[in-house]
Amino acid sequence: MSVTIRDVAKASGVHISTVSRTFSAPHLVNPNTRSRVLACAEQLGYRPNRAARALITGRTYNIGLIVADIANPFFPPLIKAAESQARKHDHHIFVADTNEDPALEEEVVRALAKQVDGVLLCSPRMSNALIEQLSREVPLVVVNRQITGIPAVAMDVAGGARRAVEHLIALGHRRIALVAGPRGSWTSREIRRSASATARAGSAELTIIGPNPPTEVGGLTVAEDVLRAGATAVFAYNDLMAIGLIEGLLAAGARVPQDVSVVGIDDIMLSRLTRPKLTTVATPTAAAGRAAVDMLLAHGDDRRTTAHVHLQTELVIRDSTGPGPGPHSPADPGDVIAPGGVAS
């Protein structure tokens, strides 16, 4: 049915091992023979069977890419960049979506382990211990997370969060809400830590609302909590939530940014298209995808390359942030109500 190495061998009058070497070790075969074999292969439409090759060499030329939610606009640019970079190195990408479910994450890694040269774990929700264990079964590169001993591509979300909160403080906001992301997210912890420290340093009050699902709906549903907390500015775990939040705020009659300023993080395509346009922290998503693939492929040679790539983020000021109530805001700690669903 399908044309194999034997067909090519027969057609070009050499042994199959010569054909094999023509493709995997060309320098070992006589140039004349080589070109004859290549001609036959071309003519027959021969393509090496990677599965068969992988069986012996252990290299599959496949990469697993695991994301929490393909439909979250944060991921597509990353996937696209990774796929393109992988193809440059003749690798293919398995994409799996875990629906934000840590258990599914583990299962998918295990299911993919034997069929890939390595797995890119994007924004994993698993525990560090589990990730370390899995990394013994298959080469792993984590994106948006830092674990000692595991190669990682991290974006400087802490720096981004700092700049975002500083921006709000500079605008005169003193009562800021942080709409947190999902439990188990490293990014969420980083943001929380950095935003808290920055608020403290700027003598602003930070109310943490969450955890929440990292979706538009997640943002929409906390709009009331934000208003009840009396915040004049909000920093959200990601753009999708920020956009949902703005929807919710507008629906509740609050104006953005006149009454409430909103900052997101990610700079997804959407952020330039909503009204008001979203002020946000741009994360280099595509660069992260490329870097992760590069690390994984480099990784192969020397297993202890636990380098960590750090990518810079950048504050993009658009229209969803504006001046706060000013330095003389009648902020009375007494009327800060702790609404349902608010944690610290």
Partner DNA sequence: GACATGTGTGCAACCGCTTGCATTAATGTC
Partner DNA sequence: GACATTAATGCAAGCGGTTGCACACATGTC
Residue closer to DNA by CB (options 136, 328) is 136
Q: Which of 32, 148, 203, 344 binds DNA (CB under 7 A)?
A: 32
Q: If phi over 0 gives left and psi between -120 and 50 gives alpha, with beta otherwise, what is residue 265? A: beta
CB of 330 to its own copies, least distance (A): 33
- Alpha-carbon dihedral 21, 25, 31, 37, rounded to 10 degrees: 30
Residue closer to its own copies by CB (options 12, 62) is 62
Would you say 82 and 290 are in contact if contact means Cβ atoms under 8 Å apart?
Answer: yes
CB of 25 to DNA, least distance (A): 6
- Alpha-carbon dihedral 313, 316, 317, 318, rounded to 10 degrees: -150
For residue 269, give the DSSP letter: G
Tell me, by CB under 7 A, how many residues bind DNA: 32
Q: Is 33 in the site for DNA (CB under 7 A)?
A: yes
Q: If phi over 0 gives left and psi between -120 and 50 gives alpha, with beta otherwise, what is residue 275? A: beta
- Residues near its own copies (CB under 8 A) are 2, 47, 49-52, 54-55, 60, 62, 69-71, 73, 75-77, 79-80, 83-84, 87, 92-97, 99, 110-115, 216, 243, 247, 269-270, 273-275
Would you say 109 and 119 are in contact if contact means Cβ atoms under 8 Å apart?
Answer: yes
Residue closer to DNA by CB (options 48, 213) is 48
User: One-letter amino acid identity for 160?
Assistant: G
CB of 303 to its own copies, least distance (A): 13
Residue of 225, 180, 232 lying closest to 204 (CA atoms):
232
Q: Is 30 in the site for DNA (CB under 7 A)?
A: yes
Q: Helix (H, G, I), strand (E, B), or coil: what is residue 136?
A: coil
Instruction: Tell me the HSE value of 152 on the side-chain side, using a 13 A CA sphere.
Output: 18
CB of 247 to its own copies, least distance (A): 7
Residue 162, C-beta contacts closer than 8 angstroms, at least 6 positions apart: 194, 195, 197, 198
Identify any residues that bridge with 205 across adjacent strands, giving them in sequence order. 175
Q: Is 61 in the site for DNA (CB under 7 A)?
A: no
Q: Is 298 in the site for DNA (CB under 7 A)?
A: no
Q: If phi over 0 gives left and psi between -120 and 50 gives alpha, with beta otherwise, what is residue 99? A: left
Q: Is 18 in the site for DNA (CB under 7 A)?
A: yes
What does 15 bind: DNA, its own copies, none (CB cut-off 5 to 8 Å by kind)?
DNA
Q: Which of 6, 183, 193, 275 binds DNA (CB under 7 A)?
A: 6
- How far is it, in rounded angstroms, from Cα 290 to Cα 288? 5
Taking CB under 7 A as the binding criterion, the range among 52-60, 230-238, 239-247, 288-296 that sits at the site for DNA is 52-60
What does 44 bind: DNA, its own copies, none (CB cut-off 5 to 8 Å by kind)?
none
**Which residues, numbered 125-164, are part of the site for DNA (CB under 7 A)?**
none
Identify any residues that bridge with 92 across adjacent strands, giving them in sequence order. 62
What does 14 bind: DNA, its own copies, none (CB cut-off 5 to 8 Å by kind)?
DNA
Taking CB under 7 A as the binding criterion, the range among 18-26, 195-203, 229-237, 240-248 that sits at the site for DNA is 18-26
Q: Which two tokens stand for residue 129?
A: 């211990």
The residues binding DNA (CB under 7 A) are 1-2, 4-6, 13-18, 20-21, 23-25, 28-34, 46-49, 52-53, 55-57
